[in-house]
Structure 1
Amino acid sequence: MRKASLAHLLVIDKPRNERSQAQNEPGRSRLIPRAGYDRLALMAGLSLVPISIAASEFFLSIAVVLRLVRLARSQTRMDFPRCFWFWLLWTGLEFVVWVQSPRPALGWSEIRHIILVGSLFAALPALGRKKDCRTVWKAIFITSSLSSVFLIGEFFWRLAHYRREISAGGDAGFYLRSGGLLHHWMVYGTVEILVVAGLLSFWSVYREERRRWWPSACINGLAVLLSLTRMAWITCLLLLGIDLLWRRSKWILALPLLPVALYVLAPSGVRLRLKLL
């Protein structure tokens, strides 16, 4: 029954009694980390995505290495899902294109990212408990709020500092757009779309915690508006509409008024950005 209930996982851990017996075997090295360190490293890596991609990759790499150690010591086993084979085909095609490129050094960073994504097939099952998943999402909401606070502050600083250039006809997106702690508006927009999707899902499932996460929702919503990334605006508005339709909320009737209200209340830099649509 236990194996059947965990069939959806990529890696299936041994029962606790078997793990304790294996740890007590004579000759077992004490340098091998105990089960749980890979989970902590994975949680840290996922939680740091909104503020530092480099730090996130560092901890994710640690989680993968620790997970591979457990695999080598037969403390867990691999069980690939169906999507893995589609990913493998896609990765193989990208690798062929990369090898045939006249300047393969320029594409090494993308190959490294693909390998890191593939390694997550082994690391992600460490989050086998619902409590761990909730903890990670809460940490992501906190770190994304921190990054969003920096973006909001930088927006108003740039608005005051470059007011003369913008008034003279300068592009508001060029002078005002930033990426918070991620330092690039495109990376920030991509991550923030995922954060908004997580917030909406968390909001729907854990209704008793809505009041606690209101500040985070407001900060991230304001930061999305001030990011001046139009695709992030459209995507987040679409996600909100899908969530309201899914919950059959009457607030869906007021959704068309939201862009109008934001346009009226938004700073001048946001309105200038909208005029370029």
Structure 2
Amino acid sequence: ELAAPVAMLAAEKGTRGRALMFRAAAAQQTPAAKAEIIAKALSLAADHGAFAAGARLYAADIAAIPPAAELGWFAYPAARALLAAQSDAAARLWLSLARAQGLTDDGAASVAAALAPLARLAMHDEQPLAPLLAAWRKARSALPGEAGIRREQVLLGLLAALGEKVPAEDWLALLDGPAGGAAVMPRAALRELLQAAAEGRRLGETVTFALACLGDPDKADPALLAWTVSVLRHAGLEAEARAVAVEAAIASGV
């Protein structure tokens, strides 16, 4: 079973299918074969709203694959998963590969541009933000209607929450679109508990209440996502704030 083609492994449903793919990936002797199975597994996880869990599951296997020119196609899922799993150093290697190949290959340049906002959320960078956002919009396929507006709101809000100076033009562009649909909001008591825990520097409680406030990041109000990340950051939990920001951004299609 472990030697079955990727398409056959992917056809296995549920826990059995996930276990077979994980074991098959671990059994591969060549980086290309391992990468092919992992890429499919991550795609399936994303389809079921479980990309973050899949990223954590495969992070060690991905980090063990040396970024190489012949694996340029794997740079996008690899870096995205490693960022979601907080393996920033390993993610940077794949992003560097995409950027290097992007000097002579438009496809690789688009991959690097598509990954740039997630890398910016995960790791501080002094590069100008405006051209990064412009290149990202060009590289990422548009989402229809409110989904596209929400993705922009989430990304810009998270960047601002982490202390980035988001250009006014980017905010103004959102005023032409719809205000957005109904979003899930936490109970007021949870928000007050989070604020009190952060002000009291009770770090464990701060993280606990922040996660409770967020619930499902793909359904949370963009302003709430940004506020929660800001609270974590100002409580001295920079790493946790960035981790939450990356997961929320990925869940929102960034």
> Common fold, TM-score beyond 0.5?
no
**What's the TM-score once normalised by structure 2's chain length?**
0.30
Q: Which has the larger radius of gyration?
A: 1
Q: TM-score, normalised by structure 1?
A: 0.28
